[in-house]
Amino acid sequence: MERKIRTPYLVVNPKAYLYGQESLELALAADKASEDFDIDIFFTTNFADLRLIKENTRNIILTAQHMESLRPGRGMGHVLPESLADAGAEAVFLNHAENPLTVNELYSCIQRCRELGLYTIACADSVVEAEAVCVLGPSCVLAEPTELIGTGIVADNSYIDETIRRLRKVNPDVHINIASGITTADDVYNVIFHGADGTGATSGILKAEDPKLRIREMAEAVKRAASDRN
What are the residue numbers of the active site?
A: 96, 144
Burial readout 129-165 (b: 16 or more C-beta within 10 A, e: otherwise): ebbebbebebbbbbbbbbebbeeeebbeeebbeebbe
How many Cα atoms are found within 13 Å in the side-chain-facing hemisphere of 83?
Answer: 17
Check whether the bond before 72 is cis (ω within 30° of 0): no
